[in-house]
Amino acid sequence: MIRRLCLSILMLPLVCICLANSAKADDSDVERVKVYHRKGRFGGWPANHGIWSWNDEILVGFSAGHHQDLGGEKHNINREMPEEHLLARSKDGGRTWAIENPAEKGVLLGTKGMRHGTVPPGYTEAEPIEGPGGIDFTHPDFAMTCRMSDVNSGTSRFYYSYDRGHSWKGPFQLPLFDQPGIAARTDYIVDGQRECMLFLTASKSNGREGRPICARTVDGGKSWNLVSLIGPEPKGYAIMPSTVKLASRELLTTVRRLEEGEKKRTWIEAWKSSDNGQSWTFLNEPVPDTGEGNPPHLIKLADGRLCLTYARRAKPFGMYARLSNDGGKSWGEPIILRDDGGGRDIGYPRSVQRSDGTVVTIYYFWDEATGPERYIEASLWKPGS
């Protein structure tokens, strides 16, 4: 069995000690596969792009820049060099991967307002246009990705595909929903042929990031309307929601949180809606401490349990998961996927479940044994009973 961390109430003062001394999961528990690892390159941030699956065919997006040693407090990417937005595809449930570049087919998939690098030479991203309407969100080979131009007071756009991401239509403009700005990542729930819900991050009233919101289209993407704001405006930020549908009108979203004061705190919190996103109630904190902060990814397993994957940006730096068998009311102890990270520049996971029950969790990582480059990796693991 994958080893779990000791987090009983009586041992809360020893949490840091338990984390530091936790043994790694046995190799038989977790199969690790390199998705993208290139000498001198930086692979990062799958959570900013998205993941999609069709049975055992998996597609995930990520950024590919150039490695530069900027020390332990920064992303080690050369901001003066081109950053490509790539896709990795597996047709065997995550065991082998092929890299695809949508730019070679004329679609850049979100390079406006790049934060970490420059647009590849010779490419220009088209300006977003009004949504086309009539999108069939239930198409068997459908995929959609939502991207932002800025984490603060910027605009966002979306693209969609009917052929499992081999070709894309877009970019199409997302509205501001009467907010100072919208920072979109890919988090959506299909409700019908022309109906879809997006979960986005809006800028706060001061123009800084951010707070989560829920939006909906009922006309196939021609118009999008604000459904609700999720939670009060924080002093710090509440960003990068990851959402699942529990029942016909029940939703659960997990959110990356940060507050600063005498002591900085980062965690993941959960909010529940019983009226299909119209209103939200705070539920709990599935992960009370994520080190320097990292986004969650929440999926619903085939057996009905919830699976939350995330990174811990504090020693021991690593990738973890937690399970819930009661719709998020309570969470099991953390499951260690790996805890040998070389530093804080890791994480941003996306996960899917294969037809045989295996969970495939994809993230960016680095470790001293492999070398300084940040790479994209998949951990294949069984969530157990």
342 lies in some domain: yes
Evaluate whether residue 200 is within a structural domain. Answer: no
Closest Cα to residue 309, out of 363, 233, 229, 269? 363
**What's the CATH code of the domain at 16?**
2.115.10
What does the chain come to in residues?
385
Is the pLDDT at 27 greater than 60? The verdict is no
Does any domain span residue 161? no
pTM of the predicted structure, to 2 decimals: 0.92
- pLDDT score at 113: 65
Q: Is residue 189 included in any domain, yes or no?
A: no
Q: pLDDT digits over 223-280, tens only? A: 999 999 999 999 999 999 999 999 999 999 999 999 998 889 999 999 999 999 999 9
SS3 label, residue 290? coil
Whether 138 is covered by a domain: the verdict is: no
Q: What percent of the chain has pLDDT over 90?
A: 83
Helix, strand, coil percent content, the chain, rounded in steps of 5: 5, 45, 50
Question: Is residue 118 over pLDDT 50?
Answer: yes
Residue 294 domain-assigned?
A: yes
Give 48-95 pLDDT, tens digit per residue.
999 999 999 999 999 999 999 998 889 999 999 999 999 999 999 999
Tens of pLDDT, residue by residue over 302-352, are 999 999 999 999 999 999 999 999 999 999 999 999 999 999 999 999 999
pLDDT of 114: 67
DSSP secondary structure string, 219-281?
STTS--EEEEE-SPPPSSEEEEEEEEE-SSS-EEEEEEEEE-SSS-EEEEEEEEESSTTS--E
DSSP track, 142-170: -EEEEEES-SSS--EEEEEESSTTSS-EE
Q: Measure Cα distances from 16 to 21, 26, 133, 198 in Å.
A: 9, 21, 51, 36
- Asked whether residue 118 is domain-assigned, the answer is yes
What pLDDT, on a 0 to 100 scale, did the predictor assign at position 203? Answer: 97
What is the CB neighbour count within 10 angstroms for residue 309? 27
How many domains does the structure of the chain reveal? 1
pLDDT at 222: 98
Q: Is 289 helix (H, G, I), strand (E, B) or coil?
A: coil
Q: How far apart are the first and last CA of the chain?
A: 10
Q: Considering the domain boundaries, does residue 81 fall inside one?
A: yes
Sign of the dihedral defined by the CA atoms of residues 107, 111, 116, 121, in that order? positive
**pLDDT, mean over the chain:** 91
Q: What is the mean pLDDT of residues 34-41?
A: 98
- Residue numbers of the domain that contains 309: 9-125+230-381
